[in-house]
Structure 1
C-alpha cells in the first residue's frame, strides 16, 4: 500500500524575500504539487472507488474531510476520502456528513432547507446510498482519522457536533 507523503510547506522566511510575482508562482506550484499528491494517495487508498457509491468509472474526486480552509486540516490520506463529484459537492455543502462510525448520513436540516425551496428532487434516490458504512481503505493506517471527522462536523456546523 502507498504511504501518504506529507509534502513540506515552503518556509515563509525562504520565500519572503522573493518578488511578489515570483512568490505567487512558488506558492501556486507548491499548492498544486500538494494537491496532486493528495489526490493520488487518496484515490489509490480507496482503489479509485467512491466511498459512498463504490463506483469507479474514473469519476472520483479526492475530498478533504476537514476542509483545507481550516488551520487544522492536512493533506494526509487520513484527512481524505474518495467521492463521486455529486457526493463530493453534497459533502462540501453540508448536505451529507461522515460520522465517527464511518457511516455517511444526511444532514436533515439541509435536506429540509432544500424541500422548503422545492429543490429536493431526487433526494429519495440520493438517500439510498446513505446510512451505510462507507468503502474504506484496506490499510487501516489510511482510513479517516476520527479526530478529523469530529473537527469537520463541528466546522461544518452539523447538528449534534456544534
Structure 2
C-alpha cells in the first residue's frame, strides 16, 4: 500500500529562516494594560482573557512606547479592526465604527451596535488613554 505524502513533507516542515526582532517590554506592557482595565475589554467589557489583547494607540512601529496610557485592552477582533483603521476611539473615549467596514466587506453589523458607546477607562487617571494619542489614531489611521 502506497502512503501519500503529507503537505508538510511536500513543502517542508518549516519555511525559510527569518530574523525576529523581539519587542522588548511587550509582555510587561500587555500585563500592565490588562491590569489597568481590570481584565475586561474597554469596549465590550468581555472578560475572557484568551481573546483580550493590549493594543497600542500609537503603534510601537511608529515610535509608540510601552506605556499604559498608550494602550487599550481590546477583544482580538476589535484590536485588528483598530490597527487597520476600521474603528477608533475619540479623545472623549467614544468608540467609533467607520463606514468603510461596511463598504469594504459588505458586513460589520455586529460592530455597528458598538458605535457611539463610551469605552471603559482605567480608574487611575494617569493610566487612561492619552487623548493626544487617540487624536493621532483618529486623524492618521482611522478610515472613517
Which TM-score applies when normalising by structure 1? Answer: 0.71
What pairs up with 1:1-162 in 2 under 5 angstroms?
28=22, 31=23, 33-58=24-49, 59-71=51-63, 73-115=64-106, 120=107, 123-159=108-144
Residue 111 of structure 1 deviates from its aligned partner by: 2.6
Computed over aligned residues only, the root mean square deviation of the Cα atoms, in angstroms, reads 1.8
- In 2, distance between residues paired with 1:91 and 1:139? 23
Q: For each residue in 1:21-56, what CA deviation from the matched residue of structure 2 results, as whole angstroms up to 9, or x when unmatched?
A: xxx89x63xx2x400110011000000100010010
- In 2, distance between residues paired with 1:131 and 1:152? 17
- In 2, distance between residues paired with 1:141 and 1:156? 24
- In 2, distance between residues paired with 1:107 and 1:52? 15
Q: List alignment gaps of at least 5 residues for structure 2.
A: 1-18
Which TM-score applies when normalising by structure 2? Answer: 0.79
Structure 1 residue ranges, 4+ long, deviating more than 6 angstroms after superposition: none
Question: Which is higher, the Rg of structure 1 or of structure 2?
Answer: 2
Partner-residue secondary structure (3-state), 2:41: coil
Q: Sort the Cα spacing of 1:157 and 1:105 in 2 relative to 1 into closer, same or farther, 3 A.
A: closer
Residue 138 of structure 1 deviates from its aligned partner by: 0.8
- Asked if the contact 2:57–2:70 (Cα under 8 Å) also holds between the matched residues in 1, the reply is yes
- In 2, distance between residues paired with 1:157 and 1:133? 17
Q: List alignment gaps of at least 5 residues for structure 1.
A: 1-23
Residue 93 of structure 1 deviates from its aligned partner by: 1.5
Q: For each residue in 1:90-148, what CA deviation from the matched residue of structure 2 results, as whole angstroms up to 9, or x when unmatched?
A: 11111111111101101113432222xxxx1xx22222123111011111110001111
